[in-house]
Amino acid sequence: MIESLPDQYRWASELEAPTIAPASTVLVCGMGGSGISGDFVRVVTAAEGVDVRIHKDYGLPAWAEHVRPVVVAVSYSGNTAETLSSVDAALDYGLPVAVVATGGELTRVAGANDLPTVRVPAGMQPRAALGYLVGAVLRIVAAASPLGDPVPMLLEAGKETADLLGVERAGPGHDQARRIADALAGRLVAVWGSAGPTEVAAQRWAKQFHENAKTPAYWSIVPELNHNELVGWASSHHGLSSTTGLVVLRDQGEMPEISRRFRLTADLVGPTVQAAVEVWTTGTSVLARSATASLIGDLVSVYVAEAAGIDPVPVDILTELKNRL
């Protein structure tokens, strides 16, 4: 499924952009593997000064009724309770709504209300459809905002991810991911990034560790972590250094102040963290840089799962919770 990511970005570049009324604010509503597409699009559009906000809960945030954003509801299954509830609230407020889904109740509601809809190919895990979902949301946001043509960045994301993957697991991304997986196997992982491409990539890494490697992981960003987490990591009294690992995501576009913070932070935690690895984004556009840093995390999470004899695909416990609700 990971190998199909380059084609997913290319698929989105060929989509017919939906017609949607322009708005100064776009609110992307979705959960988990679908909702993270909104985080990617927020990072991409922030660089262009477009106001994209994220909602990962029932209903809508209180400001939506007054600000009147375009609401983009994204759910791979089309049956996620929180996302359906956001659409209900948006329709109650008379807000413009667009939908991204494979089918389900969301496309039924979209059909009944004549909402612009992008149907993404079905049959995958939602988190594996990242390129389809990011691409579809991006095409809708571009249609509703002054973002400009997203096709070049989608094509670049396709090319850069394809270069990393190579053919039959022989690309440089696989080599890098195998080395990192060896270093991190059996450890509790924290992933650090900074505002922009590595912020969303750090989030993706942690979630892929949870779902693919079935092991807890968390993420945070510089400079905020310099004001709290640094203390925990630089202390040795808890004896965690042999059981934890640190992934530091770096971006060639990061501010010099951020680079300096990463260097100094690495010096300070160096004595207490046995497994620390650095991963750099590749590509030019914010989308390509977000996609490449995320792809390495996807691969690492699967290599860690393979090494532990775990099937990375099923997430039965998420379904169990949904059934119990």
3-state helix, strand, coil in the chain (%, to 5): 55, 15, 30
77 contributes a contact to ligand PA5 by CB under 6 A: yes
Q: How far is CA 100 from CA 84, 233, 325, in A?
A: 12, 40, 24
Find the part of the chain contacting ligand PA5 (CB under 6 A) among 31-39, 59-67, 165-173, 277-285: 31-39
Minimum CB–partner distance for residue 208 and ligand PA5 (Å): 9
Q: How far is the CB of 33 from ligand PA5 (least distance, A)?
A: 3
| Residue 126 vs 173, nearer CB to ligand PA5 | 126
CA–CA separation, 157 vs 8, rounded Å? 10
Q: How many residues sit close enough to ligand PA5 to count as binding (CB under 6 A)?
A: 15
Choice among 66, 168, 227, 237 that is catalytic: 227
Active site residue 211: yes
Residues 6+ apart with CB under 8 A from 280: 249, 250, 251, 252, 293
Q: Is 168 a catalytic residue?
A: no
The active-site residue out of 211, 238, 254, 306 is: 211
Exposed (0-12), middle (13-18) or buried (19+): which is 49, by Cβ within 10 Å? exposed
Is the distance from CB of 55 to CB of 27 less than 8 angstroms?
Answer: yes
- Nearest distance from C-beta of residue 232 to ligand PA5, angstroms: 28
Residue 6 or 35 having the CB closest to ligand PA5: 35
Which one, 31 or 221, has the nearer CB to ligand PA5?
31
Among 8, 37, 45, 75, binds ligand PA5 (CB under 6 A): 75
H helix count then E strand count, the chain: 13, 9
Helix (H, G, I), strand (E, B) or coil at 43: helix
For residue 322, what are the contacts with CB-CB under 8 A and spacing of at least 6?
Answer: 81
Residue selected from 32, 283, 297, 312 as contacting ligand PA5 according to rule CB under 6 A? 32
The pair of three-digit structure tokens given for residue 25, joined into one six-digit string: 């604010």
Per CB under 6 A, contacts with ligand PA5 among 162-221 are 211
Among residues 74 and 154, whose Cβ is nearest to ligand PA5? Answer: 74
Of 12, 26, 27, 33, the residue at the interface with ligand PA5 (CB under 6 A) is 33
Window of 19-27, 74-82, 172-180, 274-282 that interacts with ligand PA5 by CB under 6 A: 74-82
The residue ranges of DSSP E strands in the chain, in sequence order, are 25-29, 51-55, 70-75, 97-101, 117-119, 188-194, 217-222, 244-250, 275-280
Which residues form the catalytic set? 211, 227, 322
Interface residue list for ligand PA5 (CB under 6 A): 31-34, 75-77, 80, 83, 125-127, 211, 315, 318
